Structure formats: C-alpha cells, structure tokens
C-alpha cells in the first residue's frame, strides 16, 4: 500500500533521502575506529614519557582489535530490540556508549584500561548503533535498497579520510588525551541530534508508483526470522562469501603501509596513500550497492571476487609501485563493497520483518574476518619474512568465494 507519508516536510519518496544523509553522518562518527593508526604513535609516547610505562606496538594496536570484536558481537545481540525500542532510541543508546568509550579513554592510566573503556564500551556502542541506519534505509527503499544502504554506509568508509586528519590536527595542538575527550563529547552530541528523525515506515508502505517485481518461480523473498534464516543454504553461502570479502579487505587495511614500504615506497608517501585508499573504501559502498540492485547480490559478489583475485595476482607476480596503488585501491574498494552487498542481500533474500537480527547474524562474518585477516597476515609475515607472500592465499580464497557464490548465494526457494 502507498500512504501519504511525509518526511522533513516533503513527500516520503523525496524526504527519505534525508534519512540516508543522517545515516551517512552517523556512520562517519562511528567509523572513526579506522583512524586508530593516527593514535598509535602519540599513545606510545604518552604511556612511555608521561606515565613512565613501557608498552609494545602490539599492546597499542590491541584496542583496535578489541573494538572490532565487540562491534561485531554487539550487532546480533541488540538487533531484536530495534523493533520494540525503536530506531531512534537504539541509536541514541549506541551513540552515548560510543562517545563514552572515547571520553573515558582520555582518563586511562594503563593500556589495559584502554582495552576496556575504548575497546569494549566503544565497540559495543558502535555495534548497537551501526545497524540502525542500515535497517531504516532498507525499509524506506524497497525499490533501491542497494543504493540506499550503500550511501548510508558511505560515511563509515570515508570516516578515516576525514577524521584521521582532524585527529592529527587535534593531537598536534591539544594532545592525544584531549583529542579523545573532544571526540567523545562531539560524538555524543552529534549522534543524539542526528538520531531524532529516525523511524521506520508504516507496515506495508511502498513508494508511490512503484510495483514490487514479480519473483521468478521458486525465488520468492523469504520473509523469515533469524531462526528460519540460519536453516537455509543461502545464509551459509552469504556468510562465507562475506567472511572472505572482509578477510581480504581488513587484511589489506592492516598491512597497507608495510607492503608499500616493502616495495620501496617512502614512509611518508605510504602514509598518505592509506588516506587515499580510504576514498575507495567509502566509494565502494554506493557503487557496489547500485551494482547489487542491478545485477543481483550473487553476480555482484562474483564481480568483487574477480577483482580481489586480479589485485592479488598482480601484487604476487608484478610487485611495483603502480601495481601496489591499483591493487590496494581495489582491495579497499571491495571491502567497502561487501559492506553494501551483504546487508542488501540479507534484505533481498530474507525480507525485512526481522532484518536487524538477521543482518546481525550475517555481520558476524565481518568480525571473524577482522580477527582472521590481520592474524593470517602476521603469521605469513613471520614464517616467510615479507607481507607480499600473503597474496597467493588471498587469490585462493577469492577463487573459493566465486565457487561458493555460484553454488549457494541465491534466494531461498521456500517462503515462510
């Protein structure tokens, strides 16, 4: 049914784009975790010079891993409350916890406290809030779900490009602990204000003039809950493909700079290129989201794996500066792409009646990739002596992803 709904004083068909913009800015705040590398050096100096504590590089990097782990864990655990509490309140709760994690990080006196207040509290906050703008976009855009979800997530991918520069300036002028404090206060205020207009459309709402496409026989959308979803082969195909895409992408993020220095790029330029790659991470979301709308999630997944295989082969066989720039732009872009393909596929395959909990379960693949990718890269570096040896393994995984996508990543054949 189509109703005379309005958003921001406009017909809902136009006003719903305002919700996408709000979701984009919320995700820009949440995605500041990708700027963690900017804090590594200043934090090391703070603990060593100010507090007189000796810390290793691994200890300073650990909050990043803890944050991502609790981010992924909080997604499926909180999704069921979006319906009962509402998207506005859930986002406010997540935003307060996210800001609180940053704010409390400014008071720590040991690296272990940083794991708890930043990694655990901040990670849970992002996990709670992250899925809400995605769910809102998926409900308001049944006709252009991939495009809307991709644009909503654009802020998360672009965040490092913007917030890393802000963090660098603040650290240089006010110090690293004051930077944590400023970010924490800003995130609490911004996310609360941006959350106020968030809401789901009425049941049965659809854009005026849009008729849902008639599914092919046996490919009806399965409006199923999470328990029904995990009994379908499509879920396992989507989960495994998402895991491979995130493993390859997060591995690339974690080793971008050292791979550049291995092939002879100056340290300063390698740092600048990391910010450049973040543009592709953000841009990959709307691009792959639009491709998913046009060519189906399975075909878009295959395209992403072909690109990952191409980038890995080039880095393995022809390591050079131009190949490094091209290949890492592709790998960062494909990671951003999977953060649009997977939520879009979840809505397309399993419906939106239990979307937050369903995508929360699918999103565990991101958490698994966040842990496995950097750890695999570190293991290969230790055993072979260089990071370039990682890419034959990424090639094999991408080929396996193509096979899984062809066999399993298609709509369920049953309707609940």
* Residue 6: strand pairing partners: 11
- Compute the Cα dihedral for 224, 298, 200, 141 and give only its sign: negative
pLDDT digits (tens, 9 = 90+) for 28-81: 999 988 777 778 778 888 888 888 888 776 677 778 878 888 888 888 777 778
305 or 344, higher pLDDT: 305
pLDDT for the residue numbered 1: 45
251 in the same domain as 297:
yes
Give, in order, the Cα–Cα distances in Å from 190 to each of 308, 309, 361.
36, 40, 28
237 in the same domain as 141:
no
Q: Is residue 221 part of a domain?
A: no
284 in the same domain as 140:
no
157 in the same domain as 273:
no
142 in the same domain as 259:
no
254 in the same domain as 165:
no
232 or 209, higher pLDDT: 232
267 in the same domain as 156:
no
Give, in order, the Cα–Cα distances in Å from 153 to each of 30, 132, 156, 169.
10, 11, 5, 25
155 in the same domain as 23:
yes
Region 322-336: mean pLDDT is 92
Residue 207 confidence (pLDDT) above 50: yes
SS3 state of residue 279 = helix
Of 175, 195, 215, the one marking the end of a domain is 195
SS3 state of residue 203 = coil
Q: Which domain holds residue 378?
A: 226-408
289 in the same domain as 243:
yes
404 or 257, higher pLDDT: 404
Residue 249 confidence (pLDDT) above 50: yes
Q: Which helix (H) or strand (E) holds 10?
A: strand 10-11
Q: Is residue 220 part of a domain?
A: no
Region 368-389: mean pLDDT is 80
106 or 274, higher pLDDT: 106
CATH of the domain at 117: 1.20.1250.20
Evaluate if pTM is beyond 0.95: no
252 in the same domain as 170:
no
Q: Is residue 327 part of a domain?
A: yes
* Residue 10: strand pairing partners: 7
Q: Is residue 207 part of a domain?
A: no
Instruction: Answer whether 14's CB lies under 8 Å from 5's CB.
Output: no
Q: Is residue 370 part of a domain?
A: yes
How many angstroms separate the CA atoms of 318 and 109, rounded? 46
Q: Is residue 212 part of a domain?
A: no
Count how many domains the chain has. Answer: 2
pLDDT for the residue numbered 57: 63
Q: Is residue 265 part of a domain?
A: yes
306 or 354, higher pLDDT: 306
Region 304-309: mean pLDDT is 96
Residue 100 confidence (pLDDT) above 70: yes
Instruction: Answer whether 246's CB lies under 8 Å from 365's CB.
Output: yes
pLDDT for the residue numbered 55: 79
Give, in order, the Cα–Cα distances in Å from 409 to each of 237, 333, 362.
5, 21, 13
pLDDT for the residue numbered 12: 82
Helix pair 87-105, 176-195: axis angle to 10 deg: 170
Q: Is residue 189 part of a domain?
A: yes
pLDDT for the residue numbered 414: 54
pLDDT digits (tens, 9 = 90+) for 365-375: 988 887 787 77
284 in the same domain as 239:
yes
């Amino acid at each position: 049914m189509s109703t005379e709904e309005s958003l921001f004083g406009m017909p809902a068909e136009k006003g719903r784009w305002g919700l996408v913009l709000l979701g984009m800015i919320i995700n820009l705040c949440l995605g500041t975790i990708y700027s963690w590398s900017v804090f590594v050096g200043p934090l090391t100096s703070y603990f060593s010079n100010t507090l007189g504590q000796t810390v290793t590089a691994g200890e300073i990097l650990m909050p990043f891993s803890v944050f991502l782990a609790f981010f992924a864990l909080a997604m499926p655990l909180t999704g069921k409350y979006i319906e009962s509490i509402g998207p506005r309140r859930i986002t406010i709760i997540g935003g307060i916890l996210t800001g609180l994690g940053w704010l409390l990080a400014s008071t720590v006196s040991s690296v272990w406290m940083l794991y708890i207040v930043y990694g655990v509290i901040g990670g849970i906050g992002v996990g709670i809030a992250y899925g809400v703008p995605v769910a809102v976009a998926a409900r308001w855009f049944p006709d252009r779900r991939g495009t809307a979800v991709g644009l909503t997530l654009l802020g998360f991918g672009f965040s490092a490009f913007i917030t890393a520069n802000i963090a660098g300036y603040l650290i240089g002028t006010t110090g690293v602990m004051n930077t944590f404090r400023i970010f924490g206060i800003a995130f609490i205020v911004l996310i609360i204000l941006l959350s106020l207009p968030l809401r789901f459309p009425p049941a049965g709402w659809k854009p005026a003039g849009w008729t849902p496409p008639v599914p092919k026989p046996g490919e009806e959308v399965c409006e199923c809950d999470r328990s029904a979803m995990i009994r379908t082969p499509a879920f396992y195909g989507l989960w495994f493909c998402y895991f491979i895409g995130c493993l390859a992408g997060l591995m690339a993020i974690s080793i971008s700079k050292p791979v550049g220095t291995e092939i002879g790029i100056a340290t300063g330029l390698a740092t600048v290129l990391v910010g450049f790659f973040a543009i592709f991470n953000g841009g990959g979301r709307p691009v792959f989201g639009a491709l998913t709308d046009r060519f189906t999630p399975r075909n878009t997944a295959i395209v992403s794996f072909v690109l990952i295989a191409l980038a890995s082969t080039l880095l393995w066989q022809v390591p050079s500066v131009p190949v490094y720039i091209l290949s890492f732009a592709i790998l960062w872009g494909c990671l951003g792409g999977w953060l649009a393909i997977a939520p879009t596929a979840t809505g397309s395959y399993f419906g939106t009646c239990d979307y937050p909990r369903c995508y929360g379960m699918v999103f565990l693949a991101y958490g698994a990739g966040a842990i496995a990718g950097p750890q695999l890269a570190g293991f290969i570096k230790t055993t072979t002596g260089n990071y370039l040896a990682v890419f034959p393994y990424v090639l094999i995984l991408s080929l396996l992803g193509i096979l899984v996508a062809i066999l399993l990543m298609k709509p369920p054949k049953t309707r609940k």
